[in-house]
A and B are shown apart, each in its own frame.
Chain A
């Protein structure tokens, strides 16, 4: 694909591209990208993973958060070429066909979302938090999520959602049973 977006064949022949290979949601993907293409745009347009949302221009809102080698990054603030050789997880990779991730369940159970726009980023940041800290306090959660903005919920239910998921994950591991 010589175009930035593969749905339209663009007359950009002669524009240098680079071939990059990355793992996206567990699957190996090889694409040719123009260096200036942002990772968020590659995921959204090139790979149709539209759960990664773009909210702002200034690395402020976190709606585009993905896990890069397991850690949350704002995918609007990385070049797609930088993902070469790395592992990217988006919201689409959180659940299998039959099973939701506990964080996803928690957001539904505790009404941790309204319009849904910040939700993928919130959930991925939460997932990364719980992997490092399985028993977070309310303050730990508020702190960890302070790079993701939400306009609808007032955060209180997001915090509860993460606590819900933490409890479920601990129970699944046989703790606090």
Chain B
């Protein structure tokens, strides 16, 4: 497995990177962690004329929570940085739950959060967590920065709203105004398997009342599935057997699974329903214990 020839650029500033992208007129590809891009180059599924390696741009490997509780993840923050974070579970439990389920431990030392979101794989874990939490991507182009909400970011399988001369410099995930609760469940047959189905749920709780609810699905459609509307039936309610059933049915209804060797559409839909129910039931238990 050997990639096609390409020109290699390794800018040391974001501006320089954008200038290269701009010059390349859509024939360039940004390389961050490379854990999806390089396999695609090797398999020759991707053959860009230019690779823009951003790994030598300093200052992009951060993740921090700002005063308003928003989590900022820089373009070179690796999966492992989030996995090893000691505070993420308190501020963004959905992300924390997903962090150890992304790919495998070695891929996690190199792959990046933002790169994974930009890869726009319908089975991607991070895109689902972003969508469930109302996250957005900060894109920088020749004319400055703009914010692209996650709901508008992915246009289709492996296609994003980034212009050819834009680079995703940061992902931002809002924090909860009340108590953040949430989780991520993924059905994988072994470590590193792509999701048969996975579910990200994020709740913003005021005592035991749900102030805000978010949900997104991976592996059950041609893109990350936005189930935020579906799970909004929980808003203003507490987690009871009834409200949990209602939410899991509503979320399962918006999945768009297709039958393949990982299972039938009905099976995948059932897994979505089961996982939503399991996440919410576990959260309800946690609430009870806390109370």
Q: Do chains A and B touch in the complex (CB under 8 A)?
A: yes
Residue ranges of A at the interface with B (Cβ–Cβ < 8 Å): 15-16, 18, 34-36, 38, 57-60, 62, 65, 68, 71-74, 76-79, 81-82, 84, 125, 143-148
Least CB distance, B83 to chain A, in whole angstroms: 11
* Residue contact B104 to A58, C-beta cutoff 8 Å: no
**B263 CB-CB contact with A under 8 Å:** no
* Residue contact A36 to B6, C-beta cutoff 8 Å: yes
* Residue contact A125 to B106, C-beta cutoff 8 Å: yes
* Residue contact A146 to B105, C-beta cutoff 8 Å: yes
* Residue contact A74 to B5, C-beta cutoff 8 Å: no
Q: How many A-B residue pairs have CB under 8 A?
A: 86
Q: Chain B 40-83 against A: per-residue CB contact (8 Å), 1 yes, 0 no?
A: 01110000000101010000000000000000000000001000
- Tally chain B residues at the interface, Cβ within 8 Å: 30
**B3 CB-CB contact with A under 8 Å:** yes
Q: Please measure, in the bound complex, the distance between the C-alpha atom of A38 and the C-alpha atom of B10, giving whole angstroms.
A: 16
Contact among A34, A76, A146 with B5 in the assembled complex (CB-CB below 8 Å)? A34
* Residue contact B109 to A35, C-beta cutoff 8 Å: no
Could you show 29 A-B contacts with beta carbons less than 8 Å apart?
A: A16-B7, A18-B8, A34-B5, A35-B5, A35-B7, A35-B8, A38-B3, A38-B38, A57-B42, A57-B43, A58-B39, A59-B38, A65-B106, A71-B109, A72-B106, A72-B109, A74-B106, A74-B107, A74-B110, A78-B34, A78-B38, A78-B110, A79-B34, A79-B51, A82-B53, A84-B10, A145-B105, A146-B104, A147-B106
Q: Please measure, in the bound complex, the distance between the C-alpha atom of A82 and the C-alpha atom of B109, giving whole angstroms.
A: 15
* Residue contact A60 to B192, C-beta cutoff 8 Å: yes
Contact among A57, A73, A79 with B106 in the assembled complex (CB-CB below 8 Å)? A73
Q: Please measure, in the bound complex, the distance between the C-alpha atom of A57 and the C-alpha atom of B1, giving whole angstroms.
A: 6
Contact among A18, A34, A59 with B107 in the assembled complex (CB-CB below 8 Å)? A59
Q: Chain B 191-205 against A: per-residue CB contact (8 Å), 1 yes, 0 no?
A: 110000000000000
Q: Please measure, in the bound complex, the distance between the C-alpha atom of A125 and the C-alpha atom of B8, giving whole angstroms.
A: 29
Q: Chain B 7-21 against A: per-residue CB contact (8 Å), 1 yes, 0 no?
A: 110100000000000
* Residue contact B110 to A77, C-beta cutoff 8 Å: yes
* Residue contact B192 to A15, C-beta cutoff 8 Å: no
**B35 CB-CB contact with A under 8 Å:** yes
* Given A73-B110, A78-B110, A146-B192, A38 and B42 contact (CB-CB distance below 8 Å): yes
